[in-house]
């Protein structure tokens, strides 16, 4: 496992920050972000994929009422792939009985999806060698979050109660030096962290991202680490995560 990994630094892997607004579709945005990233790593150039397709076609049929990442992956498999965001754009409301998947050309598809072990070392290793992963965390502390690394305890953020899906895009270590202008005291020791892509717009958190402490199952990050599997093309070297 490398010391640091940040897929945002790889061109064409991480798409723009989305804003779910009044639609409870973090599960769909995280799933699409995972497939976009793996597709971008495997088959350049990248493409932005349709969140709306998952809202309209999810097998549980709840659209903006909520869903699960694993159901979203099954929907992608059942639909034989995802249309592009351009062809099937996000509307912020689900139409579960009006699935238009068959009317649009699929521009990305997956072979399978898996759940990783609930072990942060395993997750880091897989992230560094394969690409971003969806995780589901306890959302509680994010209401007041502005920036920095959240180091939660089971009391402040119950790891058993996970209710918000996001995309894990990297990890790193924060050194002793605090950020300029910060009112927080400097950490006595270096702080390992995860980098997560949220779906609340680019004006939230750290330009749409946030960081959680790595190594303490902060907010239940290890509970449901899921990722699609995209077939690697022959004669192509795998891309490694930029440090």
What residues line the site for another protein (CB under 8 A)? 22, 24-27, 60, 62, 65-68, 112-117, 136, 138-153, 156, 160-165, 174, 178-179, 182-184, 187, 191, 193, 200, 203-204, 211, 213, 223-224
Running DSSP on this structure, what letter comes out for residue 116? -
The token duo for 153 is 């305890």
CB of 157 to another protein, least distance (A): 10
Shortest CB 199 distance to another protein, Å: 9
Whether 57 contacts 72, CB under 8 Å: no
Q: Could you list the active site residues?
A: 26, 164, 198
β-strand partners of 209:
197, 206
First to last CA, the chain: 11
- CB of 219: closest distance to another protein in angstroms? 11
**Three-state DSSP class for 55?**
helix
Rounded distance between C-alpha atoms, residue 150 and residue 220, angstroms: 13
Decide: residue 155, CB within 10 A, 0-12 exposed, 13-18 middle, 19+ buried.
exposed
């Amino acid at each position: 496992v490398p010391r640091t990994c940040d897929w945002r630094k790889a061109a064409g892997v991480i798409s723009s920050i989305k804003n779910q607004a009044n639609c409870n579709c973090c599960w769909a945005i995280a799933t699409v972000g995972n497939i976009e990233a793996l597709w971008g790593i495997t088959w350049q150039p990248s493409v932005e994929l349709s969140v709306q397709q998952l809202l309209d076609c999810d097998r549980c049929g709840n659209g903006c009422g909520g869903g699960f990442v694993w159901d979203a992956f099954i929907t992608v498999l059942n639909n034989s792939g995802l249309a592009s965001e351009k062809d099937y754009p996000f509307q912020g409301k689900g139409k579960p009985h009006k699935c238009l998947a068959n009317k649009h050309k699929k521009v990305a598809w997956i072979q399978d999806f898996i759940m990783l072990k609930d072990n942060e070392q395993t997750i880091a290793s897989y992230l560094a060698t394969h690409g971003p992963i969806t995780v589901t965390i306890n959302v509680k502390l994010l209401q007041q979050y502005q920036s920095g690394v959240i180091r939660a305890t089971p009391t402040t953020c119950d790891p058993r109660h996970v209710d918000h899906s996001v995309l894990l895009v990297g990890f790193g270590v924060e050194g002793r030096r605090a950020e300029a202008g910060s009112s927080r005291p400097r950490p006595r020791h270096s702080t390992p962290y995860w980098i997560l892509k949220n779906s609340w717009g680019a004006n939230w958190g750290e330009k749409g991202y946030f960081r959680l402490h790595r190594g303490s199952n902060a907010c239940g990050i290890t509970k449901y680490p899921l990722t699609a599997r995209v077939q690697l093309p022959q004669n192509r070297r795998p891309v490694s995560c930029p440090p």
